Chain A
Amino acid sequence: MHVRDLIDKIGFRHIAGEKALEKKITGLYCCDLLSWVMSHAKHGDAWITVQTHINVVAIASLLDLSCIIIPEDAEIDGASIRKAEEEDIAILSTPLNSFEIFKLLYEHGIK
């Protein structure tokens, strides 16, 4: 599954990062404690977080995560969107909560 599929097949909203839509999603990770994410998230993971400030973009970039998914329509900082465009990190948004996102991605083959 690729990041683009989250938009085309599941209907997530595309917030930032155009080329990054071609990245492959190899796992899914959910956490809002940044140091915890730093030590546990894996290369290729899609990351669900309600933290939407600029530092989440740095973390996604440093760890080579496939994308950032903002659940439950949490508001996204404008500076983060600009930074994500610069760094080409995909940010997606959805009204779904973390559990519903996990369920959907599992059904689409992220196992």
Chain B
Amino acid sequence: MNKDNGINGIKLQYEIIKDDFSRAGEASSNIKKVLRQLGIEDSIIRRTAIVTYEAEMNIVIHSEGGRIKVLINPDQVQIIAEDYGPGIENIELAMQEGYSTAPNRVRELGFGAGMGLPNMKRCSDEFEIQSEKGAATIVTMIIYIKG
């Protein structure tokens, strides 16, 4: 984790490794601990925990690896999840609840419900996804702390 206490807020960054289920959830847990130390409201912590966890699992399950960057300032929490590909062919389809491309071995563990991206969108005040086949996927989410 890189922690940079800059003038614009607190920046956190975590590398997420492909297929590493044993460490999956650690980045989200650390982000949650930082938010708690900062005295952020419980409902904001919960929403941030949900979006970072889903983003983390998406990178573990579907990508070649990637990173999660979090920027916390007094007004908002910004989360950027970016990976090294292979990209999403049909974003509209990927955003549909219940649609999943997760392989069976992952579904047997309870993942691949097709709820990850919809959960991330639902819990964010602003949500943007950029991707195409053969390229990186970048999901940017903002959760407002104040109105």
Q: Which residue of A lies closest to B117 (CB)?
A: A35
A53 and B115 contact, Cβ closer than 8 Å, known pairs A58-B25, A87-B29:
no
What is the size, in residues, of chain B's interface with A at 8 Å between Cβ atoms? Answer: 25
B25 & A62 in contact (Cβ 8 Å cutoff) = yes
Q: Which residue of B lies closest to A35 (CB)?
A: B115
Chain B residues touching A, majority SS: helix
Q: Which of B45-71 contact A (CB under 8 A)?
A: 46, 49-50, 53-54, 57
The residue that A79 contacts in the complex, of B22, B29, B46, with Cβ under 8 A, is B22
Q: Which of B98-129 contact A (CB under 8 A)?
A: 109-111, 113-116, 119, 122-123
Which of chain B's residues have a CB closer than 8 A to the CB of A26?
Answer: none
Q: Enumerate chain A interface residues (CB-CB to B < 8 A).
A: 32-36, 38-39, 43, 49, 51, 53-59, 61-64, 79, 87
Q: Enumerate chain B interface residues (CB-CB to A < 8 A).
A: 21-22, 24-26, 28-29, 32, 42, 46, 49-50, 53-54, 57, 109-111, 113-116, 119, 122-123
